Structure 1
Amino acid sequence: MLNFIKKSVAQLWAKQYVKTSEKFIQNAISDQEKTLHNLVKKAKHTHFGREHDFENIRSIRDFQMRVPLVDYEDLKHYIERIKQGESDILWPGKPEYFAKTSGTTSGSKYIPISKEGIPYQINAAKSALFFYINQKKEADFVNGKMIFLQGSPELSHLHAIPTGRLSGIVDHHIPKYLQKNRLPSRDTNTITDWEIKISKIVEETQKENMTLISGIPPWLIMYFEKLTEETGKKIKELFPHLQLIVTGGVNYEPYRDKMNTLLGGDVDIIQTFPASEGFFAYQNNYKEEGLLLLTNHGIFYEFIPYEDLSQEMPRRLTLDQIELHTDYALVITTNSGLWAYMIGDLVRFISKQPYKIIVSGRTKHYTSAFGEHVIAYEVEEALKETLLKYPAQISEFHLAPQVSPTNGLPYHEWLIEFEKEPSDLYSFAKTLDRALRDRNTYYDDLIMGNILQPLVITQLKRGSFLHYAKTQGKLGGQNKIPRLANNRDIADFFTNPTQTS
């Protein structure tokens, strides 16, 4: 009887929420204008607001004329002041939290999350579930156990500001009505060694009635593989009532085939688009492609056409100006004090009624198939360090993820054209891997957690990159072959014999 009441209440809440959400879906453009007006008004007496004449901003155009496009490095000096304990810098008062994440150029980023901003992070995830329940017309999963694969909820402090990874911050705000059915235990969640942690999670969950599982794809795969290894069963056989997987952080599609194999049965999937900077979108229809852009969640959006990114004064379009099936760099202004902030993601609208997007890429070349966000600076510095230790010379290289190897764990594949080969390629690769791990803590976590194996070097014959450039019509001029990729479009050219012949 209690179970029936719980799922009935969940269905009622979901129906009411979806009904009220129709207003923000229909009024997206006007809501965006109101959002920017409210953000500017709220922050006009901050240091940033006074510096950029917020007092005289009356329109979107005024805002764009006074507030330049920025990335983290541009805001870093403001954030350093906040880290030192100053108030009213980017947003009134001090942040409620700092979300610590991997930087896009070097070091770590400290993303401020305000008291006004944190509820939107929580409510967006809850809203995604409400849309699912309303569409599915059932909520059986609320009566089972739910697991959230995440970072440690333990937080450090910077001048009394709690600081940690976003998933650990969110852990402190999970509603009480979900806590009773939630796994793993807090003791397990605080384990920092991922290999030990995943073993404990398997131990705590394998005999439970798991109905909802949430996490980024590589962590889910590791968890499922360990469960299968321990029990000899497919996940759907082990958890016959598993109804829903909620995922985000990295693109799910490259993992779909492997996930389906591990699951061994039908499970609904909801994809989301959260980040430390804000929760931007979620799949409001689990049967259709595309994520609903959240236009009344404390964030004002601008969109830069991809082809404008190299221009000194790129076009800054608003929601009413976008076109379908065009790639835009996403720019956000938030109620946590990020102003005209380029987060580095490319989005593509596939619908205007409602506004739905897919994440189509990144504004810069990178490798982050497993959430590690390895960047060119880290790769090139690691290689430079390694070459100082070995009498070798490299003419060109390309790094790509190998998500689904024939045998063993996934890995980073370095396709290298040596001008002079190292005498010991194994030792060279080992040193290079260590140098990259020293520069990127997230990559190091993946190696330590046995989610990735150390990098693999594939030697290419001389002239390989030249041949590739010719075949692509990119020889000469300003054309450059990307040294990093988040897919295998270039790597497969070299590793597929029919292409290179």
Structure 2
Amino acid sequence: MKGVVFACNSLWVLSCYPSYLRFLRGCEDLKKTQTSILLRIIKRNRDTEIGRLFGFEKINSPEDYRKKVPLTSYKFYAPYIEKICRGEKQVLTREKVLLLEPTGGSTAPSKLIPYTPSLHREFLSGISPWIYTLYTKRPGLLAGKSYWAITSLSGYEKRCRVPVGFREDTSYLGNAGKFFISPTLAVPSSTILSRNLEEALYLTAFYLLREENLVLISVWSPSFLLLLLERIKKYREKLLSELRKFSPHRARWVEKCLDRERYHLIWKKLSLISCWTQGWASRFLPELKRVFPGVEIQGKGLIATEGFVTFPWRDGYVLSVNSHFFEFLKNGESYFAWELREGEKYSVIITTGGGLYRYMLGDVVEVTGFYKGVPMLEFVEKEMVCDMVGEKLNAFHVEKSIKEALDKFSISSSFYFLAPDEDKGKLFYTLFIETDNIPQGFVDFLERKLSENYHYRYARKLGQLAPLRVFLIEKGGMERYIQRKVKSGKKLGDIKPMVLEKEKGWRETFQGKFLKE
């Protein structure tokens, strides 16, 4: 079996080599590479509805494109995606839309992103060079099995003539990747088809404990891996009982490690964990390093449902030059990838083969250096989005949800906002509101409205986020809010109260108390 695993991993890495070479060639002349990608997308889609609207047939350069096509957000695409849902063709792309992939939205609870064959190839243009370097620089990974976290089926409810959602995350790897990786998976993809989420977590824990040849773990949020360890504690005896049926020897070793709380010894060959390490995710790294001492933790690049922006490269994250056409926004001005300056922060704009044109991704990055003229980019934050564990709560949806809750329960308040919070190691959101009382049922209603964002709902189901709480501010809420902002360095005239704050620790700022649950 070990020979099969080694062969499959090796063939998978070998299949990624051409994309790796294309990446290196693309870095030799960034402007030429990016211009070629843009003109190919424009030419292919000039006879679509969107192509006729923007006059694609008259665009011959990146400069033409920047002048004639406005910056866009999902709100602009919503009516066009409705047409795609109804089965209309050649709306955003000439290619057939294979499926619509749900993700958290900035102006709505969730949004649907068109996924085409071209977009699939664009993702592989970033994934394949990363996989090639990941394994060739760590040849020990070739001999072992891996755990690639599979996202639960979204349960997105929408009548649509186009399929909604991938059935598993490995679909991004393409047919060849899926074929080669299947025999190397420590946890079968079929776990996603379990009857409920808790059963899926239990099965995942069981398969992981069973596999002693685990060398690599790939998850999105590090909190998810810590959550799996909590499930192992919770179902310890049941898991050990099942494990004894499979291998008494393995069960004894796992039990010994659990008794000593030495999880890293359960998988003695584990050498790398791939997960988010930037932004909010960084707070989980100390615990992850404590639990898995000596295991390398590699940060993931900037990857969104809409597009593939960066991947790990040397000591940073390099722009995936062959994936899409990139622009970067700063102070209202857009810049091409070859115009960026080190140390500056920009907001990412993408044009993709999936039908998004000058689309504002909402991710802020900082240029940390260059590789052969290609910018190395560090993720800084999401614009108007709070994302502790992958819940992607956005300000527009939060404001709409709170207003609906206040109206429904006839609550009058001129000062309120939602903020991330933490207590005894548990993460959750707190609504800070200046009012005398909150009627029964308000919290549950607001929780349901926030859960319309399925990323938030999923994080709640997993237990990554604890239930929503409400903090009743007695008086002087706005004054104390402003005082805190001024102390943090904000100019008085620049302070604008936000309905969604990204900072924690607000309960110490106000006089008041938590609503009794």
- Band the TM-score falls in, shorter-chain normalisation: 0.7 to 0.9
Per the alignment, do residues 485 and 380 of structure 1 end up closer, same or farther by CA in structure 2, a change over 3 Å counting?
A: same
How is 1:102-501 mapped onto 2 (pairs within 5 angstroms)?
Answer: 102-136=104-138, 138-152=139-153, 160-164=161-165, 167-168=168-169, 169-170=171-172, 173=175, 174-191=177-194, 193-209=196-212, 210-217=214-221, 218-229=223-234, 230=236, 232=258, 233-248=261-276, 251=279, 252-285=281-314, 288=315, 290-297=316-323, 299-305=324-330, 307-308=331-332, 315-353=333-371, 354-363=374-383, 365-388=384-407, 393-402=412-421, 405-407=423-425, 409-416=426-433, 418-422=434-438, 429-437=443-451, 439-460=452-473, 462-463=475-476, 464-472=480-488, 474=490, 477=493, 479-488=495-504, 491=506, 494=509
Q: For 2:159 and 2:435, locate their aligned partners in 1 and report how far apart those are by CA, in whole Å.
A: 48
Per the alignment, do residues 253 and 420 of structure 1 end up closer, same or farther by CA in structure 2, a change over 3 Å counting?
A: same
Larger relative contact order (CA 8 Å, sep ≥ 6): 2
Q: For 1:436 and 1:4, locate their aligned partners in 2 and report how far apart those are by CA, in whole Å.
A: 45
Offset at 1:478?
5.6
Q: For 2:19 and 2:173, locate their aligned partners in 1 and report how far apart those are by CA, in whole Å.
A: 23
Q: For 1:458 and 1:204, locate their aligned partners in 2 and report how far apart those are by CA, in whole Å.
A: 42
TM-align CA RMSD: 3.2
- 1:303 aligns to what SS in structure 2? strand
CA contact (8 A) 2:191 2:200 kept: yes
**Correspondence for 1:98:** 100
Q: For 2:191 and 2:167, locate their aligned partners in 1 and report how far apart those are by CA, in whole Å.
A: 18
Q: For 2:439 and 2:507, locate their aligned partners in 1 and report how far apart those are by CA, in whole Å.
A: 27
CA contact (8 A) 1:120 1:279 kept: yes
CA contact (8 A) 2:220 2:275 kept: yes
Number of residue pairs aligned between Structure 1 and Structure 2: 476
Using structure 1 for the length normalisation, give the TM-score: 0.84
- Which amino acid is the alignment partner of residue 215 of structure 1? V
Q: For 1:42 and 1:276, locate their aligned partners in 2 and report how far apart those are by CA, in whole Å.
A: 22
Offset at 1:380?
2.9
| Segment drifting more, 269-278 vs 241-250 | 241-250
Q: For 1:264 and 1:227, locate their aligned partners in 2 and report how far apart those are by CA, in whole Å.
A: 19
Deviation sequence 1:47-66 (CA, Å, 0-9, x none): 22122221121111111121
- Which amino acid is the alignment partner of residue 450 of structure 2? L
Offset at 1:330?
0.8
- Which amino acid is the alignment partner of residue 494 of structure 1? T
Q: For 1:73 and 1:320, locate their aligned partners in 2 and report how far apart those are by CA, in whole Å.
A: 29
Q: Which is helix-richer, 1 or 2?
A: 2
- Which amino acid is the alignment partner of residue 321 of structure 1? E
Offset at 1:451?
2.2
CA contact (8 A) 2:92 2:355 kept: yes
Per the alignment, do residues 495 and 13 of structure 1 end up closer, same or farther by CA in structure 2, a change over 3 Å counting?
A: farther
| Segment drifting more, 192-201 vs 322-331 | 192-201
| Segment drifting more, 427-436 vs 198-207 | 427-436
Q: Which runs of 5+ in 2 are unaligned?
A: 237-254, 512-517
Per the alignment, do residues 435 and 34 of structure 1 end up closer, same or farther by CA in structure 2, a change over 3 Å counting?
A: closer
CA contact (8 A) 2:327 2:348 kept: yes
Offset at 1:263?
2.3
CA contact (8 A) 2:473 2:510 kept: no
Q: For 2:166 and 2:510, locate their aligned partners in 1 and report how far apart those are by CA, in whole Å.
A: 37
Q: For 2:409 and 2:159, locate their aligned partners in 1 and report how far apart those are by CA, in whole Å.
A: 41
